[in-house]
Amino acid sequence: MQCSFITSIGNHTQKFESELPLVCIMGRSNCGKSSLINALANHKTLARAAKTPGRTRLVNLFDMNGKIVLADLPGYGYARISKGEQQKWHHLTNYFFDKHQIDRMLLLHDIRHFPGEDELAFWKDASENYQTTVVSTKMDKLKPRELKTAVANLEEFIRRHRIKVDHKVQVSSLKKTNIEQLREHLELK
Ligand SMILES: Nc1nc2c(ncn2[C@@H]2O[C@H](COP(=O)(O)OP(=O)(O)OP(=O)(O)O)[C@@H](O)[C@H]2O)c(=O)[nH]1
Ligand SMILES: [Mg+2]
């Protein structure tokens, strides 16, 4: 895997051009977005897994093996950020989605937390407009039986709210579980 950081986009004047499919990683702060990019890239520090939740305030773009461009977007629904900061988040992400052709959205959530209001609104919207993959992260944190329940609950949530999902996968960036499967799904090889 040959992966590299391309650029950061942080304001409305910037537009990124590429021939490669663009895949966005969306999820709450701290759900494991940057860690997933590092795991997919097989690189420890490519996306600099932030120590402080909510620190990533820019759209960070990565070339993944010359096959796709991954966009690491700022985390949403972080309770400790102010209303003003949340507005900035909406501004930046909506701008980014409008200006660029998005090939797929990776909808991340921490497997230990049942999807909440934030996920519901965002997932529903995203699934009506884009190809979507739900990625449940940090699966190493649950015991097999807990994992089974969590996956069943997630499936019920997706069914009940009629969210159109193309693919679902549970991963651990820490233990590298199902990372290869996700690479194949994203055609990174
Ligand atoms: N056990 C375990 N911890 C993980 C895993 N993935 C991420 N983490 C931890 O979760 C925390 C947040 O991970 P990040 O990858 O920085 O999360 P993020 O979504 O990029 O967060 P923001 O950039 O703040 O939005 C870090 O302490 C990671 O080490 C995983 O698969 N297993
Ligand atoms: Mg991050």
Distance (Å, rounded) from C-alpha 154 to C-alpha 36?
Answer: 20
Distance, CA 33 to ligand 2 centroid (Å)? 5
- Give residue 54's pLDDT: 47
Instruction: Report which of 69, 103, 95, 105 is spatially closest to residue 14, judged by C-alpha positions.
Output: 95
Distance (Å, rounded) from C-alpha 132 to C-alpha 147?
Answer: 22
- Give residue 51's pLDDT: 52
Q: Which ligand has its closest atom nearest to the C-alpha of 173?
A: 1
- Give residue 78's pLDDT: 56
Q: Tell the CATH topology of 3-185.
A: Rossmann fold (3.40.50)
Distance (Å, rounded) from C-alpha 151 to C-alpha 157?
Answer: 10
Integer CA distances (angstroms), 89 to 22, 86, 164, in order: 19, 5, 24
**Structure confidence by residue, pLDDT tens digits, 114-134:** 888 878 888 999 999 999 999
Q: Is the pLDDT assigned to residue 111 strictly greater than 60?
A: yes
**Structure confidence by residue, pLDDT tens digits, 135-187:** 999 999 999 999 999 999 999 999 999 999 999 999 999 999 999 999 999 99
Residue to mutate, 28, 35, 178, ligand 1, most ligand atoms under 8 Å from C-beta:
35
Distance, CA 64 to ligand 1 centroid (Å)? 19
What residues form DSSP beta bridges with 170? 136
Residue to mutate, 30, 43, 107, ligand 1, most ligand atoms under 8 Å from C-beta:
30
**Structure confidence by residue, pLDDT tens digits, 43-100:** 988 887 555 554 557 889 999 999 999 999 888 765 566 778 778 888 888 889 999 9
Least confident among 2-6, 8-12, 70-74, 87-91: 8-12
Q: What are the boundaries of each domain within the chain?
A: 3-185
Identify the burial level of 2 via C-beta atoms within 10 angstroms of its C-beta, where 0-12 means exposed, 13-18 middle and 19 or more buried: exposed
**Structure confidence by residue, pLDDT tens digits, 15-53:** 899 999 999 999 988 899 999 999 999 998 888 755 555
In the structure, ligand 2 is a single-atom ion and the residues with CB under 5 Å from it are 33-34, 50, 56
pTM, full prediction: 0.93
Query: Which residue's CA lies nearest to atom 5 of ligand 1?
Result: 138
Chain center to CA of 169: 12
For 8, list phi and psi in degrees, rounded to 5.
Answer: -115, 145
